[in-house]
Amino acid sequence: MSGWRFVLSARWAGYLALVLVFATVSCMFGNWQFDRRAEARAAIDLVEANYDREPQAVTEVLPTLDSYRGSQKWTPVLLNGVYLSDDEMLVRNRPFRGSPGFEILTPLLLDDGTVFIVDRGWVPVGSRQDAPDEIPPAPQGEVEVVARLKAGEPVLEGRGAPAGTNQIATINLGQVSERLEREMYTGAYGIVSSQEPAPASVPLTPDKPEADEGPHLSYALQWYVFALLAFVGLGWALRQEYRVVNADDPEVRRQAEERERKRAQRKPDDAETEDALLDSV
């Protein structure tokens, strides 16, 4: 044990503390990546469970105006009513496939007198102004709409919209309700899936979300490997210092000679051969 006495020094205690901190932080990052993967998997499960379901009447899915559960995301609902095109709103700063633009929110006055907000799709920003060049009009008269549910958005500090316009910063359904001054669904809104009668032209709508959980699993495993390698590196450094400190020990000398003998017997690889040729020039 006397040959290992150096490990009791303050210097090696510091090395050990550093490795422990590094390994702990690496494991924390690994756990965080596992959490991110769990969130991605949960989002994929919602799409698989709800996206292609048979539409149901909105009153069956959302029994009250403020009801909505996160597990209902993407659920198709059936809506019958008339679009209130005069109260249409544009949501600012909405990128789509790499281009800036707006989402079109059109209130739908349902047959029971309540209002449901329908996201009819996306249009690009105008060529010369901070507004779309053209907005495809909503169908007139009685319409049957299938829309997929999404939760309303929070208010974002520092984000606003030009005064006196029909533009809004976020899809905050509470603020939209105050703006419309109508009895309205405030728990969720819907992204249009289909409309009858179908309009002649429609805004762009998002595709079905891909079932891609991302690289979170591989990243998590990498962080755990980093934690393990820290201890491997510490062990290697310990072994190297042991050999230096105990260089006069007969057993250590014998092991060093054995390593040199094996190294001499090993056939050099291409890189070593090339290095030897360069050294001889």
pLDDT tens digits, one per residue of 207-216: 899 888 899 9
Angle at the Cα of 121 from the Cα atoms of 196 and 63, rounded to 5 degrees: 65
When the pLDDT of each residue in the chain is averaged and rounded to a whole number, the result is: 89
Angle CA 214–187–166, to nearest 5:
90
Distance between CA 24 and CA 31 in Å, rounded? 11
- Which residue, chain included where needed, has tokens 């520092």? 158
Please give the structure tokens belonging to residue 37: 């993967």
Q: Output the CA–CA distances (angstroms, integers) from residue 84 to 32, 81, 107, 129, 265, in the order listed.
A: 45, 9, 5, 25, 87
- Dist. CA 2–CA 246, nearest whole Å: 10
Contact criterion met (CB below 8 Å) for 17 and 230? no
pTM (predicted TM-score): 0.77
pLDDT at 275: 62
Q: From CA 107, how far away is CA 120, in angstroms rounded? A: 10
Domain locations along the chain: 2-35+214-264, 52-196
Distance CA 105, CA 86 (A): 11
Instruction: Supply the pLDDT for residue 3.
Output: 77
Counting as low any pLDDT under 50, the low residues of the chain are none
The two three-digit tokens of residue 191, written as one number: 């992204």
Q: Which two tokens stand for residue 221?
A: 């495993």
Q: Which residue has the tokens 């001054």?
A: 181
pLDDT at 270: 63
What's the pLDDT score for residue 165? 86
Residue with tokens 């042991």: 242
How far is residue 242's CA from residue 246's CA, in Å, rounded to a whole number?
Answer: 6
DSSP state letters, the chain: -GGGGGGGSHHHHHHHHHHHHHHHHHHHHHHHHHHHHHHHHHHHHHHHHHTTSPPEEHHHH-SSTT---GGGTT-EEEEEEEE-GGG-EEESS--BTTB-EEEEEEEEEETTS-EEEEEEEEEEPPSSSSS-S--PPPPPSEEEEEEEEEE--PPPTT----TTSSEESS--HHHHHHHHTS-B--SEEEEEEEEESPPSS--B-PPPPP---TTHHHHHHHHHHHHHHHHHHHHHHHHHHHHHHTTT-HHHHHHHHHHHHHHHHSPP-HHHHHHHHHHH-
